Amino acid sequence: MASSSALSRISTLQNHISPLEANNKLRSLVKISPEVSDAISNGRAVVALESTIISHGMPYPQNLQTAKEVESIVRENGAIPATIAILNGVPCIGLNEEELERLASLGKSVQKTAGRDIAHVVARRGNGATTVSATLFFASMVGIQVFVTGGIGGVHRHANHTMDISSDLTALGRTPIAVISAGVKSILDIPKTLEYLETQEVYVAAYKSDEFPAFFTEKSGCKAPFRVDSPEDCARVIDANMKLNRQAGILFAVPIPKQHSAAGNIIESATQRALTEAREQKVTGSAETPFLLARVNELTGGTSLAANIALVKNNALIGSQIAVALSQLI
């Protein structure tokens, strides 16, 4: 057992570790691409991107093509893309072309990695595609303030019986990063998800709309808590959140473009059928969302997948503009 004087010296050393030194120690545990590292160091706009949409969201090679197109949109709008994944046990912030190709070709054999799974995947030197909660963790670790995704997880329908609530919501409640998404997936219970986000003190605003969007469609029937109308509006909210040292995150919900919005009743009908099939086949937990999205895509003849790709690209456009506006304020 350590002596009291030894414990005192350890405590003194711990108290003298600066936040910068602690942050540098954390950064040494991940691989940051030179481009992303340079952008962060020089205060340039960076946009974090998750990787589950690549490995589990669509088939190869469509997933690779979409990932490249999303990164191109980010670049064209003045920001640097930082796609995040775990490869051979190493968390990677920013993937090169070879790494993107590998992740896309491995597809569903890559473990879908939420926040709770990170240590397991790293310890086993495995490959992990990060969900919203895991991507938030790594983006926060290196100081990225803006994260673009398709849609976040939420409170599942019948959660009062299953207790199935996505860790995305609690991660947002404790990670001060702005997430740009198309709202909440229509396979979820949207009103309960908004209530849970309020409980987690997450700032939620719809982009150029008074109504919270429902992923595939522009409207959910739920009023958004707040409204923002420009990238500059969003940047000022993020900046204020940072300066006030709030530890909760921000959700900017961007409606899918009108020309790509699928008919809401078609999507809802397919969703109800997919939910019934999931219960009959006892599909639960982390396997449920990929099953539901794939089944809805089948039932709608590919309409939902086309809408999914369109909304991700639109989110990348808006998210990049927000990141650039933020870099001009800081």
3-state secondary structure of 130: strand
pLDDT score recorded for residue 3: 42
What CATH number is associated with residue 245? 3.40.1790.10
Q: Nearest-CA neighbor of 79 among 256, 317, 329?
A: 317
18 pLDDT band, cuts 50/70/90, is: very low
pLDDT tens digits for range 269-293: 888 899 899 889 988 877 887 788 7
CA distances from 228 to 53, 81, 147, 222 (A): 26, 23, 17, 16
Is 240 a domain residue?
A: yes
pLDDT tens digits for range 141-150: 999 999 999 9
Is 8 a domain residue?
A: no
pTM of this structure: 0.88
Produce one character per residue of 121-155: b if its CB has 16 or more CB atoms within 10 Å, e if not: bbeeebbbbbbbbbbbbbbbbbebbbbbbbbbbbb
Strand-pair partners of 80: 46
Higher-confidence residue: 157 or 169?
169
Mean pLDDT to the nearest integer, 320-325: 98
Mean pLDDT to the nearest integer, 195-219: 95
Structure tokens at 206: 């719809």
pLDDT tens digits for range 42-81: 999 999 999 999 999 888 999 999 999 999 999 999 999 9
Structure tokens at 37: 């590292």
23 pLDDT band, cuts 50/70/90, is: low
pLDDT score recorded for residue 24: 65
Is 11 a domain residue?
A: no
3-state secondary structure of 53: helix
Report the number of distinct structural domains present in the chain. 1
pLDDT at 12 over 50: no
Is 20 a domain residue?
A: no
Is 2 a domain residue?
A: no
* Helix axes 288-299 and 264-280, enclosed angle (nearest 10): 130
CA angle 237, 183, 194 (to 5 degrees): 80
pLDDT score recorded for residue 8: 44
pLDDT at 240 over 70: yes
**pLDDT averaged over the chain?**
89
Is 195 a domain residue?
A: yes
Which position among 112, 185, 288, 313 bears the catalytic label? 185
CA distances from 236 to 227, 228, 330 (A): 13, 10, 10
Question: How many Å separate Cα 75 from the centre of its chain?
Answer: 19
DSSP 8-state class, residue 189: -
3-state secondary structure 1-46: CCCHHHHHHHHHHHHCCCHHHHHHHHHCCCEECHHHHHHHHCCCCE
pLDDT score recorded for residue 289: 76
DSSP 8-state class, residue 156: B
Higher-confidence residue: 330 or 23?
330
Is 48 a domain residue?
A: yes
Percent of the chain whose pLDDT exceeds 70? 91
Task: Give catalytic status of residue 71 as yes or no.
Answer: no
Task: Give catalytic status of residue 277 as yes or no.
Answer: no
Is 86 a domain residue?
A: yes
Mean pLDDT to the nearest integer, 252-257: 96
DSSP 8-state class, residue 79: -
pLDDT score recorded for residue 16: 46
pLDDT tens digits for range 74-99: 999 999 999 999 999 999 999 999 99
Does residue 147 contact residue 178 with C-beta atoms inside 8 Å?
Answer: yes
Boundaries of domain holding 188: 29-328
